[in-house]
């Protein structure tokens, strides 16, 4: 179980290692207040970068630009 920034529990159904990017059309990146721990999360950044490189739609609902800029989005 993962806890969100408000402390609410979240039970993920899959992980980014299990996602078949070729089956995705888009991904929605939601905004967070506590994002500093994500800026250097290499596996997450690589996942987002590979989606962007394949021309998939990256929808940004106020996500911190720091993470997106870091992967060239």
Listed by start position, the domains of the chain span 20-70
What is the reported pLDDT for 40? 83
Task: Report which of 34, 26, 21 is spatially closest to residue 63, judged by C-alpha positions.
Answer: 34
What is the reported pLDDT for 39? 78
What is the reported pLDDT for 18? 93
Structure-token pair, residue 9? 């529990």
The answer to whether 31 and 1 are in contact (CB under 8 A) is no
Task: Report which of 17, 65, 14, 16 is spatially closest to residue 39, judged by C-alpha positions.
Answer: 65
Collapsed DSSP state (helix, strand, coil) of residue 70: helix
pTM of the model: 0.63
d(CA 49, CA 8): 28
What is the reported pLDDT for 62? 60
The list of the chain residues with pLDDT below 70 reads 30-34, 60-69, 71, 73
d(CA 67, CA 45): 7
């Amino acid at each position: 179980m993962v806890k969100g920034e408000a402390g609410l529990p979240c039970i993920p159904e899959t992980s980014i290692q299990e996602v078949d990017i070729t089956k995705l059309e888009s991904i929605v990146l939601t905004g967070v207040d506590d994002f500093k721990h994500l800026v250097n999360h290499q596996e997450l950044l690589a996942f987002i970068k590979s989606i962007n490189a394949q021309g998939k739609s990256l929808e940004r609902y106020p996500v911190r630009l720091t993470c997106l800029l870091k992967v060239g989005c």
